[in-house]
Amino acid sequence: MGPIRAILLPGAVLPAQPAYGALMEALGPDVQAVAKDLELYAGDEPPRDWSLDTEVDGVLRETDALGWETFHLVGYSGGGAAALAFAAEHPKSLLSLALLEPAWAGNWDWSPAHAEVWKKYGQLELLPPGQFMPAFMRLGVRPDVVLPPLPPGPPPPWMAKRPAGIKAFLQTFTSYELDRARLARFDKPVFFALGGRSNPDDYGEVAQRLSTVFPDFRVEVFDERHHFDPPHRIEPERFARLLREHWDRAEGLRKANLG
């Protein structure tokens, strides 16, 4: 058995390296994990024709350059939405899928509570710049969660791109067609990490709905975590152990199917 190969897609805020650095260290030297930045932020502004397909194509270019025919895919938040799009379009390339509270999972028959959350996301564009990020973060967590203030001093240079990037995600979610039937045919193991303090009308419902779509689906609840202190950053050792178990199971199933 060769090394484990995995692509890790970040969310719409942190770049890939700070998002996944601790997790990659915890995974160990026998895992070839590539933390891939989003295509969304390759330039100073989001590409005019950007969509989740742009991120799918970026993953294909990355893995082609690495010479990987198959690999595991991990995606958090916006990167989780891109990972779902990839699984729908290129299922044979994936050995498994791991979703860390994907920001979106298709324009399906959501509950009124979920629809209300997304109505509020749509209203974010009306806010002045100084209110956008705090309001965006507030929507992702339970009402009783106290979010930390933004750190003092000037923000890192990459932060300037984030409001426009988040808006690009929200816009493409209104029109992108995520094929539910294709996802239902994806028979590799799917792991979903859910924060117990995240907004249940958003990420909790996404987990529930995807559990009825994927034939091999497992949810792990991290009781003390929420969308903005996710387990891959705050509990990297535990999360690495769960990922390794997920990947080992996928490898066992692959071998059994080949036999």
Enclosing domain of residue 185: 4-258
pLDDT of 129 reads: 83
Grouping H, G, I as helix, E, B as strand and the rest as coil, residue 165 is helix
pLDDT of 76 reads: 98
Using one digit for the tens of pLDDT, what is the confidence trace for 168-182?
999 999 999 999 999
pLDDT of 259 reads: 64
pLDDT of 151 reads: 78
Calpha distance 12→77 (Å, rounded)? 7
Total domains in the fold of the chain: 1
* Contact between 231 and 100 (Cβ < 8 Å): yes
pLDDT of 153 reads: 86
Stretches where the chain sits below pLDDT 70 are: 1, 259
Report the C-alpha dihedral over residues 102, 107, 108, 109, rounded to 10 degrees.
110
**CATH assignment at residue 46:** 3.40.50.1820
Q: What's the predicted TM-score (pTM) here? A: 0.96
